[in-house]
C-alpha cells in the first residue's frame, strides 16, 4: 500500500513508498482505514534528519491518526467494523514491567511507537491494538480527531505532570502545536496571567495563541524576560511549560520561573546543553519531563473536545495527503499551527 516512508536517516530521506498492507489482525488487534493524520514535530525531525529517538528504516511515518475499523481480530470485544476511532501511539508494550503494571505503559522500556519503530498512520491502513482505541464522539470531525494525540500530550503534561493552581502565572515557551494546546489546557485553570513566548518566525502562531486564551505573547526572549520577571507574586512565573523543540529554551525557563516554582519540559531537543544548571538548585525549582500520555488522558481530551472546551481544529490546516511535502514545509516554516493530512 502507498505510504509516506522514511527510508533512512538523513535530511529529506522521506517520500512516497510502499509498505506491506496489514491483513488478518491477530488476537486483540484491529485494522483501521486511515481518514486523517497529523504532522508532528517529530515527523519534521525525521524529515530533516535531526531526530533524537530510535528509528527503524524503512518505516511509514505518522502517529496522530484517526480512521474507521475495517477488520477485527480474535478476542476483540466492544468494537465493530465501521466504528470511528483514534488510536494511541504505543503499538506494543510488554505489559509486565513495573511501569506497565503501574499504568505508565507510555514509559515501558519495550514500547514500540508508530511512525518510528513500526509502520504508522501516514498510510492507507494501519494495524493497531484494540486496547488503545478510543471512540470519536459525535460532532468531532476527522481533522479534530487527528489532533487528539498532540492535545493529549499537552493535556498529560499539564494535568498529570504539573501542579497548577487557579490564579497561577503560567508561561508557555514554544507556540508549536503542543505549545498552543498547552495554552488552551492552561486556560482551563483560570491563571492570573498566561503568556506565550516564540520567535519572529512565530507571528502567525502567536496570533493563534491569543485566540486560545493567551493574555500576552512575545516574539523574543529578551522582551519576555523584561515583562515577566515580576510575574505572579512579583518574583517570576509560577509555572513554565517548555514546549519548544530545542534544548536551549530550558535556560530561558530557568530565568523566568520563580524560586520554588516548576518547569515542565514537553518539547524534544537533541542539542546538548551549553549552560549551567545552578539556577535549578539556587531557586529550588521542580523540573519534570513529560512524555506521551495514558488511556485516561485520551478519554478526558475527547470528552472535552465533544463539549467544545478544547478546540484543536482552531490551529489546524487540512491538506490532501498527496500534498504531504507542502504540509511538512508549511509546518517547518511556522506559517501554520498544525498540518493535518486527509486521505
Closest CA to 295 of 31, 103, 109, 93: 103
Closest CA to 192 of 259, 238, 260, 155: 238
In-domain check, residue 75: yes
DSSP result, 151-208: HHHHHHHHHTS----TT-EEEEE--SHHHHHHHHHHHTT--SEEEEE--GGGHHHHHH
In-domain check, residue 212: yes
Question: Is residue 64 very low, low, confident or very high in pLDDT (cuts 50, 70, 90)?
Answer: very high
Closest CA to 231 of 256, 197, 206, 263: 256
The residue-averaged pLDDT of 304-327 equals 97
The residue-averaged pLDDT of 118-122 equals 97
Name the percent of the chain in helix, strand, coil, to the closest 5. Answer: 30, 25, 40
| Residue 135 backbone phi and psi in degrees, to 5 | -75, 135
Same domain assignment for residues 202 and 308 = no
pLDDT surpasses 80 at 163 = yes
pLDDT surpasses 80 at 337 = yes
CATH number of the domain residue 226 falls in: 3.40.50.720
Question: Is residue 153 very low, low, confident or very high in pLDDT (cuts 50, 70, 90)?
Answer: very high
Query: Treating both helix axes as pointing N-terminal to C-terminal, what angle do 148-159 and 177-187 enclose, rounded to 10 degrees?
Result: 50
pLDDT surpasses 90 at 239 = yes
Give pLDDT, residue 130: 98
DSSP structural state of residue 229 = T
What CA–CA distance (Å, rounded) separates 165 from 145? 29
Give pLDDT, residue 44: 93
Same domain assignment for residues 51 and 110 = yes
In-domain check, residue 267: yes
CATH number of the domain residue 114 falls in: 3.90.180.10
What CA–CA distance (Å, rounded) separates 342 from 87? 16
Same domain assignment for residues 17 and 145 = yes
In-domain check, residue 17: yes
Task: Give long-range contacts, CB 8 A cutoff, 24+ apart: 292-296.
Answer: 292/89, 292/90, 292/106, 292/107, 292/153, 292/156, 293/88, 293/106, 293/149, 293/152, 293/153, 293/155, 293/156, 294/103, 294/104, 294/105, 294/106, 294/156, 294/160, 295/88, 295/103, 295/132, 295/134
Same domain assignment for residues 8 and 148 = yes
In-domain check, residue 50: yes
Domains: count for the chain: 2
What pairing do the DSSP bridges indicate for beta strands 169-173 and 237-242? parallel
* The three grid cell numbers given for residue 162, joined into one nine-digit string: 504539573
In-domain check, residue 332: yes
Give pLDDT, residue 18: 94
Per residue in 242-255, pLDDT (tens digit) is 999 888 999 999 99
CA angle 263, 269, 275 (to 5 degrees): 65
pLDDT surpasses 80 at 222 = yes
H or E, element range at 65: strand 65-72
Tell me the C-alpha to C-alpha distance, in Å, between residue 275 and each of 63, 223, 297: 33, 21, 34
Same domain assignment for residues 78 and 212 = no
Same domain assignment for residues 273 and 301 = no
Cβ partners under 8 Å of residue 31, min gap 6:
22, 23, 25, 69, 70, 71, 125, 126, 127, 128
Same domain assignment for residues 169 and 103 = no
Domain boundary among 246, 272, 289: 289
Same domain assignment for residues 222 and 201 = yes
Same domain assignment for residues 11 and 141 = yes
What CA–CA distance (Å, rounded) separates 217 from 235? 19
pLDDT surpasses 80 at 270 = no
The residue-averaged pLDDT of 127-138 equals 98
Averaged pLDDT of the chain: 96
Same domain assignment for residues 9 and 136 = yes
Give pLDDT, residue 269: 78
Same domain assignment for residues 284 and 308 = no
Residue 35 CA from chain centroid, whole number: 19
Per residue in 7-40, pLDDT (tens digit) is 999 999 999 999 999 999 999 999 999 999 999 9
Q: Are the C-beta atoms of residues 59 and 5 closer than 8 Å to each other?
A: yes
Same domain assignment for residues 238 and 300 = no
The residue-averaged pLDDT of 308-316 equals 96
DSSP structural state of residue 95 = S
Domain boundary among 253, 268, 289: 289
Query: Treating both helix axes as pointing N-terminal to C-terminal, what angle do 249-256 and 221-228 enclose, rounded to 10 degrees?
Result: 20
Per residue in 75-116, pLDDT (tens digit) is 999 999 999 999 999 999 999 999 999 999 999 999 999 999
Give pLDDT, residue 279: 95
In-domain check, residue 262: yes
Question: Is residue 324 very low, low, confident or very high in pLDDT (cuts 50, 70, 90)?
Answer: very high
Place of cell 535531526: 50
In-domain check, residue 157: no
Domain boundary among 269, 289, 309: 289
Q: What is the domain range of residue 274?
A: 162-289
DSSP-based three-state secondary structure for 257? strand
Amino acid at each position: 500500500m502507498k505510504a509516506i516512508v522514511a527510508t533512512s536517516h538523513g535530511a529529506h530521506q522521506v517520500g512516497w513508498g510502499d509498505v506491506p498492507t496489514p491483513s488478518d489482525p491477530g488476537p486483540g488487534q484491529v485494522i483501521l482505514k486511515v481518514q486523517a493524520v497529523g504532522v508532528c514535530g517529530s515527523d519534521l525531525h525525521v524529515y530533516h534528519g535531526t531526530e533524537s529517538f530510535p528509528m527503524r528504516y524503512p518505516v511509514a511515518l505518522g502517529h496522530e491518526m484517526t480512521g474507521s475499523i475495517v477488520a477485527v481480530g480474535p478476542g476483540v470485544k466492544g468494537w465493530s467494523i465501521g466504528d470511528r476511532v483514534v488510536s494511541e501511539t504505543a503499538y506494543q508494550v510488554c505489559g509486565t514491567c513495573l511501569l506497565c503494571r503501574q499504568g505508565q505503559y507510555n514509559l515501558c522500556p519495550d514500547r514500540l511507537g508508530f511512525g518510528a519503530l513500526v509502520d504508522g498512520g501516514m498510510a492507507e491502513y494501519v494495524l493497531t491494538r484494540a486496547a488503545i482505541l478510543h471512540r470519536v464522539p459525535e460532532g468531532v470531525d476527522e481533522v479534530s480527531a487527528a489532533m487528539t494525540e498532540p492535545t493529549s500530550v499537552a493535556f498529560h503534561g499539564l494535568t498529570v505532570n504539573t501542579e497548577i493552581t487557579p490564579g497561577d502565572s503560567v508561561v508557555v515557551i514554544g507556540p508549536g502545536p503542543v505549545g498552543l494546546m498547552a495554552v488552551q489546557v492552561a486556560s482551563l485553570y483560570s491563571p492570573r496571567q498566561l503568556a506565550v513566548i516564540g520567535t519572529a518566525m512565530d507571528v502567525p502562531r502567536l496570533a493563534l495563541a491569543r485566540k486560545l486564551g493567551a493574555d500576552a505573547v512575545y516574539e523574543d526572549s529578551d522582551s519576555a524576560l523584561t515583562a515577566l520577571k515580576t510575574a505572579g507574586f512579583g518574583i517570576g512565573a509560577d509555572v513554565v511549560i517548555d514546549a519548544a523543540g530545542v534544548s536551549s529554551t530550558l535556560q530561558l525557563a530557568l530565568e523566568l520561573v520563580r524560586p520554588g516554582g516548576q518547569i515542565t519540559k514537553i518539547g524534544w531537543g537533541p542539542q546538548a546543553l551549553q549552560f549551567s544548571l545552578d539556577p535549578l538548585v539556587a531557586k529550588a525549582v521542580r523540573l519534570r519531563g513529560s512524555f506521551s500520555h495514558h488511556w485516561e488522558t485520551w478519554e478526558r481530551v475527547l470528552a472535552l473536545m465533544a463539549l467544545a472546551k478544547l478546540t484543536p481544529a482552531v490551529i489546524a490546516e487540512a491538506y490532501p495527503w498527496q500534498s504531504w511535502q507542502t504540509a511538512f514545509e508549511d509546518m517547518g516554516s511556522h506559517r501554520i499551527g498544525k498540518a493535518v493530512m486527509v486521505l
